[in-house]
Amino acid sequence: MKIIEETPYCFRIEREGGMRVPGIVFASRELLPDPSVDKSLDQVVRVATLPGIVAGSYAMPDLHWGYGFPIGGVAATDVGDGGAVSPGGVGFDISCGVRLLAADLDRDALMPRLAALMDLLDHAVPRGLGRGAVWRVADRSQLEQVLAGGSRYAVERGHGNARDLRRCEDLGAVAGADPAAVSARAEERGLGQLGSLGSGNHFLEVQMVEDVYDEPVAAAFGLRAGQVCVMIHCGSRGLGHQICSDHVRAMQTAMPRHGITVPDPQLACVPVDSPEGRSYMGAMAAAANYARANRQLLGEAARRAFSDACGARLDLVYDVSHNLAKIETHEVAGTPRRLCVHRKGATRALPPGHPDLPPDLADAGQPVLIPGTMGTASYVLTGVRGNPAFDSACHGAGRTQSRHQAARAVRGKELRNRLEAAGIAVRGASWRGLAEEAPSAYKDIDAVIAATEGAGLGRKVARLVPLGVTKG
């Protein structure tokens, strides 16, 4: 492929073969994937062949290989021009995302109670493969209310407050959810996991605001230097995974009827406005609502632990997804167009004044939540005007090693001892789970944020460092 460096933070992959648009990679030279070990740039090229894709096949600074789409991939298709939706552009963990809550206490006040707090969180937060839930859903009828209502339904049932919904993407629930498009097997997997972290890179982390770069915006978000925060990273668990699997298979069967061929079966897709496309969009929205309710319940578990251990309150800063396809209107070549924007390992980054922002964030922009890996910093950014990728930004540090490679490089117990020697309390579900998420398995989060800012995808507001982590 021919790659042209357009700016220090933007690289262009010229069109060739079946590409309908160029590839646009936002990265520094340091962060560009090595094609000999990471085939994600090849995936950027293949995504550029999707029916109806417009402007470019975009990649964020945390780009790495994924299923079909690269993780850190963004692509928009024109719904009115046969634009396709692809489950590979959302991923298996539908609406995996991040929730940030801010406490009304500082680090110095927390430290004498940190061990007790972490023990409470260790007990209160179900995690690991298929293990437990904060809220045992009574039956499928109640589960379908969760699928339709998301965080709103959880709050109606007493799990949170009205302000939580104002500080949540889509006010807590994605419109258009269709529980009827969710298979019985997906529902079965979802019944026992509502309010749980799962495994892999999911976590609940107690953090401190170490640096503030924009005090007025930080204040609008509810953040200040020295403050304790809680960051939660999880998604739709087995329910979302099953929905993705079900609809990939359905689309692979349906593509010939729509005259669609793709260079990789993992890019299975159909027109958004086809029966199969509408079915997937409805099921995906239902899984997104499950994920929103999941994070809402985990946030409530954290609130109870903070209250019991420290007498402290937690207020929601924001909750945003980073695995979703959304119907949005954007200008393309000067004309507003109705697009299906796929963000896989990428988050929305709405600028000040955007109509989807709550009134108290209208002047500041959207909080963009970007976790680092275990033991490293996380960042809060804000959206900026003129974002070149449909108001999208990166979602994390981005892997450089597979979980198997990471687990071979360090033992979980050794890693925990290292982190605790650095003053970070660790509560893990398994030694292997800790080893798989070692900091050495990820890109440098500071470099990723520098590239994100340099590419005009967002602006730094605050840097958060870990005090304690609960891992799946």
Digit-by-digit pLDDT tens for the chain (472 residues) are: 899 999 999 999 999 999 999 999 999 999 999 888 889 999 999 999 999 999 999 999 999 999 999 999 999 999 999 999 999 999 999 999 999 999 999 999 999 999 999 999 999 998 877 667 888 888 999 999 999 999 999 999 999 999 999 999 999 999 999 999 999 999 999 999 999 998 888 999 999 999 999 999 999 999 999 999 999 999 999 999 999 999 999 999 999 999 999 999 999 999 999 999 999 999 999 999 999 999 999 999 999 999 999 999 999 999 999 999 999 999 999 999 999 999 999 999 999 999 999 999 999 999 999 999 888 999 999 999 999 999 999 999 988 888 888 888 888 889 889 988 988 999 987 888 888 888 888 899 999 999 999 999 999 999 999 999 998 7
Place of tokens 């709103």: 152
CA torsion 435→437→441→445, rounded to 10°? -140
CA dihedral (414, 418, 421, 425) positive or negative = negative
Element (H, E) at 367: strand 367-370
What integer pLDDT is reported at residue 400 of this predicted model?
Answer: 84
What integer pLDDT is reported at residue 131 of this predicted model?
Answer: 62
Inter-residue contact 51 to 274 (CB < 8 Å)? no
User: Phi and psi (nearest 5°) for 341?
Assistant: -95, 110
Known catalytic residues?
395
CA separation for the pair 25, 233 (Å, rounded)? 25
* Helix residue spans in 98-236 (DSSP H): 107-110, 114-124, 140-156, 162-166, 184-191, 215-221
- This prediction's pTM: 0.96
CA separation for the pair 270, 32 (Å, rounded)? 31
Buried b / exposed e over 286-311, threshold 16 CB at 10 Å, is bbbbbbbbbbbbbbbbbbebbeebbe
CA separation for the pair 413, 469 (Å, rounded)? 14
